[in-house]
Amino acid sequence: MDKRIYLLTIVAFVVGMVELIIGGILDLVATDLGISLGQAGLLITIFSVVFAIGAPVLLVLTAKIERKKLMLIALFVFLIGNFVAIISTSFAILFLSRIISAASAALLIILCLTLAASIGDPKYRGRSIGLVSMGVSGSLVLGIPFGLMLGNAFGWRAPFILISVLTLFSMIGVYFFMEKVAPKPQVSLGKQLASLKERRIFFAHLTTFLFLTGHAVLYAYLTPYVKTTMGLDGNWVSIIYLIFGIAAVSGGGIGGTLSDRFGSKRTTLTTVIIFGIALFVIPYTTFLLPLFLIVMVFWGMMSWAITPALQSHLIETSPETADIQQSLNNSALHFGIAFGSLIGGTVIEQASVAQTPTVGGFFVIFALGTALISMAKSRSSVYV
C-alpha cells in the first residue's frame, strides 16, 4: 500500500481531533469565559454545522486547485483557527475560531478521503479509505480524553496548543513527502444533492443523522454527566473517555467485519438496536462503576460499528455515486453531532444532565425506523 496513505491518516487524525476535543473541557471553558455549560456546548454545535455544510461546498469551489497546494493552504487556515482559539479571551472570539477551524477541517478531511481513493494501487483502494477513516474516527473519540487530560493539567487552551504543533508537523510532512496531485473533474453540488431523491439513499443518510444525534446528546456532555451522577473526579473521567475511545475505534473494525460476513442490513439494524438499549440502560448503572463501564463499552463499540455497515449499504445501493454518498454521509454525521450537542445543551438548561441518555435513546428509536425504511425491499442489494 502507498506510504502516502499513512501521511493522510495522520493529517486526518490531527484535523479531526479539534471537533470534539473541547467536549471534555466544556466546564473549564464555561468557568473561564463566564458562560453557561449550555452556551459552551454551542462551540461543538457550530463546528459540526460549519463542517457539515462546508465539506461538499468547499470541495466544489476548490475543484480546480492542485491537491497538494490546496492541502497546504487548508492546513495553514486550520493553524490560524487554532491560534485564534489559544488567544481567545471571550466566547465570541472562541466561537469565531471554531468556524475557521471547522471550514478548513471539512475540506482537509474530504481531501484525505478522496486522495486515499485516487493515489496508489487501485487494489488497495478500500483498505486505504478504511485507514484514513480510522484516523477520523480515532480522532473524534480519542480527542476528548486527550483534551481532558491536557485541560485539567495545563488549562483549556493547552489542547489547542498541541493541535497547532501537530498541524505544523503535518504541513512539513505534506510539503516534503506528498507529491503533486492533479484535481479531478468534480460533480456539481446540485447533482450531489439530487441523489437524495432516491428513498433508500435519503433514509440511510437520515439514519446516520438521527443515530449521531442520539449519541451526541449524551457524549458531548459526558464529563458533567459522570461528575454529576457518579461524583467522579477529573482523573476518572479521563479514564472513562479513554476506555470509550478504545471501544469506539475497535467498533469500526468490528462493524466492517460483521458487515462483510452478515450483510450491511443485518449489521446496521443490530447495531442500532444494541446502541439504543445501551443508552436507555446507562442511567440505571451509575450506582456501580464497573457495571457502567461494561454498558459504556457496548455503547462505544456500537457508536462507530454502524459506519462501515451504512457506507456499504450506500455503495451497494448506488455504486455509481459512491464517492458523493461518502461526502454526504460525512455531512449527515456532523449535522447529527451538531444537533445532538444542541439538544443536549437544551436538556441541561431546561431539565438536568441526568436526562441526556434517555433523550438520546429516543432519537435512536427514530434512527431504527429510518434504517428499516432505507433497507425495505432491498434484500438482494444489501446481502453479499
Ordered by start, the domain boundaries in the chain are: 1-186, 189-384
Give residue 216's pLDDT: 93
Contact 277, 242 (CB under 8 A): no
Nearest C-alpha neighbor of 211 from the set 88, 299, 291, 136: 299
Q: Is the pLDDT of residue 117 over 80?
A: no
pLDDT at 384: 36
Same fold, 1-186 and 189-384: yes
Question: Could you tell me what percent of the chain has a pLDDT over 70?
Answer: 92
Query: How would residue 381 be classed by pLDDT, with cut points 50, 70 and 90?
Result: very low
Per-residue confidence at 380, pLDDT binned at 50, 70, 90?
A: very low
- Each residue's pLDDT tens digit, 218-277: 998 998 999 999 998 777 887 898 898 888 878 877 887 788 788 888 989 999 999 999
Give the pLDDT of residue 383.
35
pTM score of the predicted model: 0.77
| 373 vs 378 pLDDT, higher one | 373
Question: What proportion of the chain, given as a percentage, has pLDDT over 90?
Answer: 46
**Predicted confidence (pLDDT) at residue 210 exceeds the cutoff of 80:** yes
Q: How many CB atoms lie within 10 A of CB 187?
A: 18
Rg over CA atoms, the chain: 20
State in Å, rounded, how far the first CA of the chain is from the last one: 25
Fold classified for 1-186: Growth Hormone; Chain: A; (1.20.1250)
At residue 32, the pLDDT reads 93
- Residue 312 clears pLDDT 90, i.e. is over it: no
What pLDDT is attached to residue 287? 93
Please identify, in words, the CATH class of the domain defined by 189-384. mainly alpha
